[in-house]
Amino acid sequence: VTEPARRRRQVVGPGRRRGVLTRERIVEAAIAVIDERGLDGLTMRNLGRALGKDAMAVYGHFVDKADLLGAVVEAEAARLQRIPPMEVSDPVEVLVALAAHYRSVLLDHPNLAPLVASRPLPQEDAPAILSLAVAMLRSVGLDDADIPMATDALTGFLLGYIVHEASQAHRRAQLGDEFRQQQERVRGRLRELPHDTSLEQAVIERRLSEHGSAEDFEAGLRAMLHGFRLGLAQPLSTSR
């Protein structure tokens, strides 16, 4: 159905608002609209207004809205590939730092995160990252035969946790008061349980607070990595 997006390189004029449209400018504007108004807030008419053009001007540069969104994801993937320099230390910590980079880049545009994550592979446009991760898993001591499984689990945790975090943030911002009310409802039901539930309430408080999830994210990742390192992923006896 969709043709491969045609690349159209063009000299960008010095102007900002007015001037010739380029794919780059459109993508940039689309991301800005998504940041401000969410994924659903990106309509062709809104985008046109943000660009100071008629809504239909975009169709000169992208065949589809889907095509446009693809380009938006591409732009995010390019940012993911710019891995910051990190001190080479324990391979586990390299992997944690890599994951933290993913997390911080994706959370820069939380409303975009679900879109990026719905792609087939996070490494789709970043085979170098995949190679780095594999190398680190190897030097952590993982058996080659276990690495695909471990990568799948780690990727699931990574993307899943981040996307979930991003959608929670979006939801929190969107419903405001009602969010607190829902938490109150859960607390109320907890109190009706027969035994002491102070710890359960602490769990909920932790989840209510906006901060701390970076630490939870890294802690969970570390636990999983060390679990893999020690060969503790199998149920009982090891048989492969």
Partner DNA sequence: ACCTGAACACCGTTCAAGT
Smallest distance, Å, CB 108 to DNA?
23
CA 162 to chain centre: 5
Smallest distance, Å, CB 167 to DNA?
20
Cβ-based nearer residue to a second copy, 108 or 178? 178
Cβ-based nearer residue to DNA, 66 or 214? 66
> Which one of DNA, a second copy, none interacts with residue 197, CB within 5 to 8 A by kind?
a second copy
Smallest distance, Å, CB 148 to a second copy?
4
> Which one of a second copy, DNA, none interacts with residue 176, CB within 5 to 8 A by kind?
none
Smallest distance, Å, CB 94 to a second copy?
12
Cβ-based nearer residue to DNA, 73 or 92? 73
Which residues does 226 contact at the CB level (< 8 Å), separation at least 6? 92
> Which one of DNA, a second copy, none interacts with residue 152, CB within 5 to 8 A by kind?
a second copy
Rounded Cα distance between 23 and 137, Å, is 38
Let me know how long the chain is.
240
Residue 210 DSSP class: S
> Which one of DNA, a second copy, none interacts with residue 43, CB within 5 to 8 A by kind?
DNA
Cβ-based nearer residue to a second copy, 28 or 64? 64
21 phi and psi angles, rounded to 5 deg:
-70, 145
Distances (CA, A) of 112 to 30, 136, 174: 11, 28, 15
Binding site for DNA (CB under 7 A): 10, 20-21, 42-46, 48, 53-57, 59-61, 64-66
Rounded Cα distance between 69 and 45, Å, is 15
Which residues does 58 contact at the CB level (< 8 Å), separation at least 6? 21, 26, 44, 47, 48, 51, 68
> Which one of DNA, a second copy, none interacts with residue 148, CB within 5 to 8 A by kind?
a second copy
Cβ-based nearer residue to DNA, 68 or 224? 68
Smallest distance, Å, CB 155 to DNA?
30
Distances (CA, A) of 57 to 9, 41, 70, 73, 100: 17, 18, 18, 21, 38
